[in-house]
Structure 1
Amino acid sequence: MKQTRTVRQSIVVSAVLLSVLFFLPLAVIEPFRAELFGRETPVEESEPEVGKLDGEVMLQVLNGDMVEEMNLGTYLMGVVRSEMPASFEEEALKAQAVAARTYTLYKIETGGNHGDTADICTDSTCCQAWISEQSARENWGDQADTYAEKIETAVRDTDGQVILYDGAPILAVFHSSSAGLTRASGQVWLNDLPYLQAVDSPEPEDAIPNYYSRAEFSAEEFKSRVMQAYPEADLTGEISTWIQNPVTDEAGSVETVTIGGITMKGSQVRTILGLRSACFEWETEGNTLIFYVTGYGHGVGLSQYGANEMAKEGADWLEIVTHYYTGVTVGPYTPAALQAP
């Protein structure tokens, strides 16, 4: 019996030793498999996390010549990355996200610009600017992770929040900076909307790039630009008499002005001459017209630099949007036609 027990113990010990000898090399090699055999452990790429409400709304987005399907949250992250500096305060970024969401739904509800082709596009001259996360990260450099998280948080923390007037999304336009006072839509465009009225805007002029700008035009260049838009304009005589009768608001933005006998809006002059805003003054020096311009953009709705200054002073995103868009409410709004099945 004793000899049999000894044989059995020897067999067990031998089995254990064989197991150790077989598995030990694998245990040693496994942590270094990639280095030894040149195979990298695959990294799973994940989409940015979006909120439930934004995630339920699917969009057809015209990006260049291609139509891409993405949810509203993913689209909004691309808009906020492109439209507002990621270095801005978090509450300002949230206000931008809410404005962009509202603008998107307004365009869809009112028919948009692309018919059956797409709901919205990535062209700032048509809809809103948009940039992919990869391209944005290349621009952000060492701050890429921090800025990406700020943008995702701004969209996710305002999930589904829309600026409403009479229960419908508003035309939530925005601009870079005003001259301390935003402009009513009727001062710039044809329709005067009740929620797009002039409001005070804190503009930190020392912190705004090119807040003050200057543009010069020779008499020939000025005449060519104006005559192309208004062939009936009379630009004869002394250059100092070509521009007359300016009507301005409290901040100095030009509401109307007469050029060559034609009365036009300051916003039209801005477009014709390519000025940064319609808040301008001018003077003549010899045969040259010189324009001095304040701010950047059409001046209607949310001022991005003003929103950032409000955030620095302690305002949250809701205070910011209800300041710049008058008489509005804020709450969830999802068009039934865009809800995912």
Structure 2
Amino acid sequence: MKRNHPVRQSMAVSGLLLAALFLLPLAVIVPFRAELFDREPPVDETEGAPFVSGELDARTTLKVLDGDTVVEMDLGTYLVGVVRAEMPASFHQEALKAQAVAARTYTLHKIQSGGNHGEQADICTDSTCCQAYISEERARANWGGDADDYEAKVETAVKETDGQAILYGGVPILAVFHSSSAGLTRAAGEVWLNDLPYLQAVESPEETDRIPNYYSRVEFTAAECKEKLLAAFPEADLSGPISGWLQNAVTDSAGSVETVEVGGVTVKGARVRSALGLRSACFDWEARDGKLVFYVTGYGHGVGMSQYGADKMAADGADYREILTHYYTGVTVDSYLPG
């Protein structure tokens, strides 16, 4: 037993040495454990740095009605959301810049004319009332793998046109726009009640083979068509054969229906388009097998800038100023600050 004592003593010493070897690094590391091992706050990799507006756009603060909530943001931040929503980010950069200036001008015109929301808000995110708007998060989800490039293009379009507006007589115009026309845009008076000197018909270089649903076909049963038309035109007489419900269409130079008789009542083609949910007022129709079949060209009201036409002009080398002064008659493009 006594002969084993040195062995046990030696093992004890070895154990202490091993423990020291393991514990010594911990003694050094523990005081700095937070710096070495603590996780940093998570980074949202779906969005980049927040957009910073240019000097002129940053001076205008908007009250934007988004659903039931009013959100305050500067003009540039709002415009980025509008351009994301209103024009495909795959379009050429000069087309996106033209869209940014058109959207800025439309917004300034809304502010100066009193808009649709009184003191509650300057503008809203409903495209049927004002302009469409989409957040960066939602846009990125739609864009997928192109999100970084597309967001950069949109932000660049807004920032590089900082404060630029389309002016007629020194005042921002009603800068309406649409997706695609039927080779010619339409004058405002052909679509709405009042004509405007800067919203006149001009040629539009659409590339029809690359525009989704440029030509569309819609058919309605007699019952469906009667319900929709009478809801919009209750004074119409649709008691006769379906083939006679729409007659005597008058078309403009672009081939769009300017006026048409619905059950004996003369109405704007734009109202028929709205009543039936057609993609544009450039339509023809026929009665077939007890149904009305409509053949439609283009998308939108056809007034102002055609977005696909703008992209074709950009592809051919036009800059945003050339695009805008082509689609809006007699205007200038210059810096503008609301008074």
What is the TM-score normalised by the length of structure 2? 0.88
Q: Please state if 1:165 is matched with 2:163.
A: no
Partner residue in 2 for 1:282: 285
Query: Separation in 2 of the partners of 1:109 and 1:187?
Result: 25
Q: Please state if 1:86 is matched with 2:93.
A: no
Q: How far apart are 1:286 and its partner, in Å?
A: 2.3
Q: How far apart are 1:43 and its partner, in Å?
A: 5.6
RMSD of aligned C-alpha atoms? Answer: 2.1
Partner residue in 2 for 1:265: 268
Which of 231, 238, 247 in structure 1 is aligned with 2:234? 231
Q: Please state if 1:40 is matched with 2:40.
A: yes
SS at match of 1:289: strand
Once the two structures are superposed, the pairs formed by residues 57-72 of structure 1 within 5 Å of their partners are 57-72=60-75
Amino acid at match of 2:177: F
| CA shift digits 1:126-168 (9 cap, x unpaired) | 1100011111111111111111110110000000000011111
Query: Separation in 2 of the partners of 1:203 and 1:228?
Result: 34
Unaligned runs of 5+ in 2: 1-23
Which of 219, 223, 227 in structure 2 is aligned with 1:220? 223
* 261-270 or 39-48, larger mean C-alpha shift: 39-48
Partner residue in 1 for 2:143: 140
Q: Please state if 1:210 is matched with 2:201.
A: no
CA contact (8 A) 2:186 2:254 kept: no
Amino acid at match of 2:40: E
Query: Separation in 1 of the partners of 2:213 and 2:287?
Result: 22
Query: Separation in 2 of the partners of 1:183 and 1:33?
Result: 67
What is the TM-score normalised by the length of structure 1? 0.87
Which of 93, 110, 120 in structure 2 is aligned with 1:117? 120
Q: Please state if 1:292 is matched with 2:277.
A: no
Unaligned runs of 5+ in 1: 1-20, 337-341
Once the two structures are superposed, the pairs formed by residues 88-103 of structure 1 within 5 Å of their partners are 88-103=91-106
Which of 191, 194, 217 in structure 2 is aligned with 1:191? 194
Which of 110, 126, 130 in structure 2 is aligned with 1:127? 130
Partner residue in 1 for 2:331: 328
Query: Separation in 2 of the partners of 1:110 and 1:231?
Result: 32
Partner residue in 1 for 2:76: 73
Structure 1 residues 33 and 224: CA distance shift in structure 2, 3 A: same
| CA shift digits 1:263-295 (9 cap, x unpaired) | 111101101111000000111112111000000
* 241-250 or 69-78, larger mean C-alpha shift: 241-250
SS at match of 2:56: helix
Query: Separation in 1 of the partners of 2:336 and 2:251?
Result: 38
Q: How far apart are 1:38 and its partner, in Å?
A: 3.5
CA contact (8 A) 2:102 2:176 kept: yes
Question: Runs ≥4 in structure 1, deviation > 6 angstroms?
Answer: none
* 298-307 or 233-242, larger mean C-alpha shift: 233-242
Query: Separation in 1 of the partners of 2:292 and 2:43?
Result: 60
Structure 1 residues 233 and 143: CA distance shift in structure 2, 3 A: same
Partner residue in 1 for 2:10: none
Partner residue in 1 for 2:13: none
Query: Separation in 1 of the partners of 2:258 and 2:41?
Result: 63
